[in-house]
Amino acid sequence: MELLIIEAGRRSVGFVRFHKKAGAFFFQGAELRSIEGHDTFSSFLRESAVAETGGNKIIVSLDAKNIFFREVHLPITDRRKQREVLPLELKGETAIEVEKLIFDSLPLSDGQVMAIWAVEADLVERIDALCQAGLEPQVVGSSLFHWHHLIPESDGDSIIALSDGFSLAVYRERKPVLFRSLEDGNFLEDIARTLVLLEAGKGIRVERVLLHGTAASSPLAGHSSEVSFAPLPVTGRLAEAFSAGSSAVEHAGAWALAEDSLRGEPVNFRHGKIAYTAGRDRLKRKLRLTAILAAVFLILLLAETGLRYYFVSSDLSSLDKSIHQIYREVFPTRTKAVDEVAELKSEIRNLGGVAASQEILLALDGVAKAKNDEISAIFEAEVDSGQVRLKGEARSFDAVNNFKSRLAPMFVTSQMDEVKSRPDGKVTFSFRGELKEGTK
């Protein structure tokens, strides 16, 4: 991921680039452009072509002169809730109505909270100008509130101050004690006066001030002898992020802001009415596309299920028709069936079940082959343990005798009983016989 930090200073605008790798930001390059000759930040951006590739994260660091802060007491530790409470807490105590301000907060070392706010109209103007230049920021804050990342490990438990020549931050055991915007002019004397007032007001004595940014290259002659000024030492993660020590000191503030954006929650005025929504809108579009694809998939799935149901229903209907047809052929005299399949199974069991199926089929096959046109019908057949009993109807007595002769090869014994003549000239008969072993 590429990170661009735009440092909106008083006399210049810096474009500092970092590259994220292995959970850390590494310095890629920087460019400093003067804003002299431009009436507004918007006019500067319109005339300044900044090469920027899409997808990079952009953070704007405002000069502390455009930000206001005050210590307040809040028994709430959640920053989101503090943002909601601060407008009520400071109502009537700000020069501009709180409805026109955007708030954020930071915890201080003594349990107090630093209320931080900026004018909404000024923020909207800057954000609109950046958007028109294709540089919409995800975060709008200030690097001043993240300089605790610059404190050397050896000074972590002491009282120490840091300054870039435009702002001052004082820390005690890495917890912020004071933030202040410095006046233009001799910033060294301004820092010295501020530290004297801090000692008089809170009893906090600062003897060492670390300088970075343009302040590190300023001449240190003529400052108060009670305060020691020195360039920021480049150690630890700061040294790892920069290949050159001079670049590290110059852009240390931007790196501190980048570090906090990676490891914490930086001060950010882009919430509420001016919240960053581009990322959310992109996510919505992606989710919308996902929802459309899911809907299409669901429709296709329902269509496939419907087709399968139709084909299965057609197969079942065809099977029911086949079963009904077979049932009518087997039982032509039954007018109403309760359960056709169950009745067929019952009749098969009555015929001897699976074990006797071959015997029955062979016997019936032989009877069917022996039957000719002279035998009008065989309306009853029973096969049980090799014994076959038939009842049928023939056209004459000779036809009955001929039928018995054709059946004789299949049976050990055969006998025609109850051969009777009917008034219509036809003859009914009853046949009994025992199947040969080869036929069983």
Q: Is residue 346 part of a domain?
A: no
154: containing domain: 2-276
pTM above 0.85, yes or no: no
CATH number for 91: 3.30.420.380
Q: Is residue 106 part of a domain?
A: yes
The number of domains in the chain is 3
Q: Is residue 13 part of a domain?
A: yes
- Tell whether 82 and 132 lie within a shared domain: yes
- Please count the helices (runs of H) and the strands (runs of E) in the chain: 11, 17
**Cα–Cα distance between 148 and 159 in angstroms, integer?**
12
- Tell whether 282 and 313 lie within a shared domain: yes
Per-residue pLDDT of the chain in tens (440 residues, 90 and over written 9): 889 999 998 888 999 999 988 888 999 999 888 888 777 787 888 777 666 656 688 999 999 999 999 999 888 888 889 999 999 999 988 889 999 999 999 988 666 899 999 999 999 999 998 888 888 899 999 999 999 999 998 887 889 999 999 999 999 988 899 999 998 888 888 999 999 999 999 899 998 999 999 898 887 755 556 788 999 999 989 999 998 778 999 999 999 999 998 877 899 999 888 988 876 666 777 888 888 999 999 999 999 999 999 999 999 889 888 888 887 777 777 777 778 878 777 776 665 555 556 677 777 888 888 888 888 888 888 877 778 888 888 888 888 888 888 888 888 888 888 888 888 888 898 988 888 875 55
The DSSP bridge partners found for residue 2 are: 19
Q: Is residue 98 part of a domain?
A: yes
- Tell whether 230 and 288 lie within a shared domain: no
**Cα–Cα distance between 178 and 167 in angstroms, integer?**
11
Rg (CA), the chain: 50
Q: Is residue 245 part of a domain?
A: yes
319 phi and psi angles, rounded to 5 deg: -65, -40
- Tell whether 264 and 384 lie within a shared domain: no
- Structure tokens that stand for 187 in this block: 């910033």
Q: Is residue 344 part of a domain?
A: no
- Tell whether 327 and 428 lie within a shared domain: no
pLDDT of residue 147: 94
Domain boundary among 228, 243, 276: 276
- Tell whether 376 and 290 lie within a shared domain: no
**Cα–Cα distance between 396 and 426 in angstroms, integer?**
6
- Tell whether 267 and 326 lie within a shared domain: no
**Cα–Cα distance between 242 and 306 in angstroms, integer?**
64
Domain boundary among 256, 276, 296: 276
Task: Answer whether 212's CB lies under 8 Å from 162's CB.
Answer: yes
pLDDT of residue 228: 87
Q: What are the b/e assignments for 394-407, b being 16+ CB within 10 Å? A: beeeebbebbbeeb
- Is 87 in a helix, a strand, or coil? helix
Q: Is residue 259 part of a domain?
A: yes
pLDDT of residue 416: 85
- Tell whether 199 and 320 lie within a shared domain: no
Question: DSSP for 373-405?
Answer: TTEEEEEEEEEETTEEEEEEEESSHHHHHHHHH
118 phi and psi angles, rounded to 5 deg: -140, 160
**Cα–Cα distance between 238 and 235 in angstroms, integer?**
6
- Tell whether 302 and 173 lie within a shared domain: no
pLDDT of residue 267: 92
Domain boundary among 311, 337, 363: 337
- Tell whether 323 and 409 lie within a shared domain: no
Q: Is residue 95 part of a domain?
A: yes
- Structure tokens that stand for 61 in this block: 């660091």
- Is 98 in a helix, a strand, or coil? helix
Question: DSSP for 37-53?
Answer: T-SSHHHHHHH------
- Tell whether 284 and 423 lie within a shared domain: no
pLDDT of residue 438: 59
**Cα–Cα distance between 104 and 114 in angstroms, integer?**
9
- Tell whether 239 and 317 lie within a shared domain: no
Residue type for position 301: L
CATH number for 400: 3.30.1360.100
**Cα–Cα distance between 339 and 345 in angstroms, integer?**
10
